[in-house]
Chain A
Amino acid sequence: MGFKDYCFRKSLWVFHFGGASCNNCDIEILDCLTPRHDLERFGILLVGSIRHADVLLVNGSINMRDKDRLLELYHQAPKPLLVVAIGACGCTGGIFAEGMTFAGPVDKIIPVDAYIPGCPPKPEAIIAGIVKLAGKK
């Protein structure tokens, strides 16, 4: 792992995109940043602008309206960009997979680097996924 790659893995800034989510995954993601789990010790920050993001967190089922927004965000982000699909809906579609407005799980729209399944995933599972992502390659 070179110097550039090392710096990148040590400072992942996260932009959070919620699709048509039931908000359980959003709450668990916020849990990771709170005192008990504190993701900042790995250098992870939640940023407000997609231009500063290194990781695009996607949760919730992606319906036809969200698809355009997700694609737009993906093209606006500076590369290299890692994409993480969180929760059953983000990974596979979950119970919405048969729905008429469902536009496909995240990996049918943009390439995904890590999947964190669960409905909702526990904060420990999210941290395990992020740490594996940081150690990838």
Chain B
Amino acid sequence: MVVNLFWFFIFPGLLFMTVAGGLLSWFDRKITARVQFRKGPPLLQPFYDFFKLLLVKETILPKHGSAFVFLLAPLLSLFGATMAGLFILLPLFNIETGFRGDIIVIFYLLTLPSFSYIIGALASGNPLAAVGASREMKLIISYELTFLLLVAAVIMKSGQQFDLNSIITAQQSHSPFIGSISGVLLFIAGIFCIQAKLALVPFDMPEAEAELASGIYIEYSGPPYAMIRLTKQIMLFILPALIVALLMNGMNPGINIVWLILKILGIVLLLTLIRNTNPRVKIKQASRFFLVWMNLLVVIAIVLIAFGL
């Protein structure tokens, strides 16, 4: 019991993910600044933002809306992200706690933040938030099937292993999945899926700064908004970690933790570069991109896996 609480709150849990996610968020902003030939924010900037929102600013509740659901949604999203992160990071750090089928649990927990954003946005009663929420719904419908097919392909490739720990072990005993043609296809699809899950720029219609003025988060202020930003930072850390666990060999014990950090930094760098070099697409284009092209890519990968490539 105590060990479980320690895991949830301290080491691979909330505190560790907050620090790691904050540093990754700084990395993301710094790279963005360097791409635009700017100097960029200082190292501790995400933590200043977080503590400012948490400790200084006041919370404003919407007048026409459900205050309880409005305040519950950020907590629910933070819980979903932390719990999913726990199930991803424990096998990644070779702490044997997984159970058979935990990858399905991870898949469901990873959708929890998006669903709570929708619930919170609809509870606020703001029309712009409602538009953002409906866009987020369409985005979820688009990318979830691709993500599920990707998970299914990885399960198939690892020889019907349904837990993350066995998937990592299967890669470590042979070779990482990304070293094959099907693995490369899955990696491409996975990068675009997490781009959409994080709502980064080609797929940032839910929060569209330009026309919706931060869309689904428009009514949040103070501590609830701090929770939402924390969730987004944690997601920026655990989704690349999930890709590393599924396709890129996880972590061998010992000094190889440097490799793990480099892999995660590399994936975040890729996400940031995609974000900085692309315009926002329309929701219809995003749906078509995932439902036709990315699904096709993953289905081709599954066929290749069936032939052992």
Report the Cα distance A10→B210, complex, angstroms.
25
Residues of chain B from 215 to 229 with CB closer than 8 A to chain A in the complex = 217-222, 225
Could you tell me how many residues of chain B have their Cβ less than 8 Å away from some Cβ of chain A? Answer: 33
| Chain A: interface size category | 20 to 34
Tell me whether A78 is interfacial, beta carbon within 8 Å. Answer: yes
Asked whether A51 and B55 contact (CB < 8 A) given A10-B48, A40-B33, A40-B41, the answer is no
Task: For B45, give its contact among A5, A10, A35, A54 (CB under 8 Å).
Answer: A10
Report the Cα distance A8→B51, complex, angstroms.
8
The reply to whether B45 and A43 form a contact with Cβ atoms under 8 Å apart is yes
The reply to whether A78 and B209 form a contact with Cβ atoms under 8 Å apart is no
The reply to whether A78 and B58 form a contact with Cβ atoms under 8 Å apart is yes
Task: For B56, give its contact among A8, A40, A51, A52 (CB under 8 Å).
Answer: A8
What 0/1 pattern do residues 136 to 179 of B give for CB contact below 8 A with A?
Answer: 00000000000000000000000000000000000000000000
What 0/1 pattern do residues 53 to 84 of A give for CB contact below 8 A with B?
Answer: 01000000000000000000000101110000
Chain A neighbourhood of B57, CB < 8 A: 54, 78-80
CB-based nearest A residue for B57: A78
The reply to whether B49 and A48 form a contact with Cβ atoms under 8 Å apart is no
Chain B neighbourhood of A80, CB < 8 A: 56-57
Tell me whether A100 is interfacial, beta carbon within 8 Å. Answer: no
Q: How far is the CB of B76 from chain A (nearest CB, A)?
A: 20
Chain A neighbourhood of B222, CB < 8 A: 78
The reply to whether B55 and A4 form a contact with Cβ atoms under 8 Å apart is yes
Chain B neighbourhood of A76, CB < 8 A: 60
Asked whether A51 and B219 contact (CB < 8 A) given A4-B51, A11-B49, the answer is yes
Report the Cα distance A10→B45, complex, angstroms.
8
The reply to whether A40 and B55 form a contact with Cβ atoms under 8 Å apart is no
Tell me whether B284 is interfacial, beta carbon within 8 Å. Answer: no
CB-based nearest A residue for B58: A78
* A–B pairs, 13, beta carbons within 8 Å: A4-B51, A7-B47, A10-B52, A11-B48, A35-B38, A40-B33, A41-B41, A43-B45, A49-B213, A54-B57, A78-B60, A78-B221, A80-B57
Which residues of A come within 8 Å of B, CB atoms? 3-5, 7-8, 10-11, 35, 38, 40-41, 43, 47-49, 51-52, 54, 76, 78-80
Which residues of B come within 8 Å of A, CB atoms? 29, 33, 36-42, 45, 47-49, 51-52, 55-60, 209-210, 212-214, 217-222, 225
Known: A10-B42, A11-B52; 12 extra A-B contacts, CB below 8 A, are A4-B52, A4-B56, A7-B56, A40-B38, A41-B39, A47-B214, A48-B212, A48-B214, A54-B57, A76-B60, A78-B58, A79-B58
